[in-house]
Amino acid sequence: MSEIVPDTQTIHNALRCLPASTFVLTCAHDQYRDGLITKWVQKCSDEPPMLVVAIKKGQAIEPMLRDARAFALCMVPNGDRRMIRLFGRQHEPDDDPFIAAPVTTAVTGMPILTQSLAWFDCLLEGHLSPDSDSRLYLGQVVAAHVHPSVNVSLFDSGSAITPPDHDSDANKRPRKAQSKSSTRG
């Protein structure tokens, strides 16, 4: 069997086609709170509602996630400089980035940014550590909210491109009659 050589540029370009939004993953445990920016969030189950989030390995928030057994994901506008300043860099464990950001809580008690476009409050169901630069966290969504200004239909997965159903009568078109040549040889 011949070895497959991956075309890394094609793979990279295809991955860029996946939908992405900017999220602040938040967590609290004991007297500590923390958060970080991620764009790697995906729904992975309808019943029960679950999502998976990926973050770079070695983040200071990881032990807190495992101890709290919960997290929140707060969707913020792409390029929000304030959120990038607060959550887009490493900081000291005693630093609380939420001091400058108003928060609320829901079912799990995790900090939820009040300015979020949408948020998900999740119980941590587990985590995976694949042979990559990121770790995956699986969360069961126990509460969620979408800001009234957000047009949810823009994110509706039902509007995704779907392949044609070749078995459907609705997709069958009559074929154009081919003209037959009257000359026979």
pLDDT of residue 2: 66
Whose tokens are 């500590």? That residue is 32
Superfamily of domain 16-148: Electron Transport, Fmn-binding Protein; Chain A (2.30.110.10)
What is this structure's pTM?
Answer: 0.77
pLDDT of residue 139: 97
pLDDT of residue 154: 62
**pLDDT 10s digit of each residue in the chain, 185 long?**
567 777 888 877 887 777 788 999 999 999 899 999 999 999 999 999 999 999 999 998 999 999 999 999 999 998 899 999 999 887 776 788 899 899 999 999 999 999 999 999 999 999 999 999 999 999 999 999 999 888 777 665 544 434 444 444 444 444 444 444 444 44
pLDDT of residue 100: 85
pLDDT of residue 140: 96
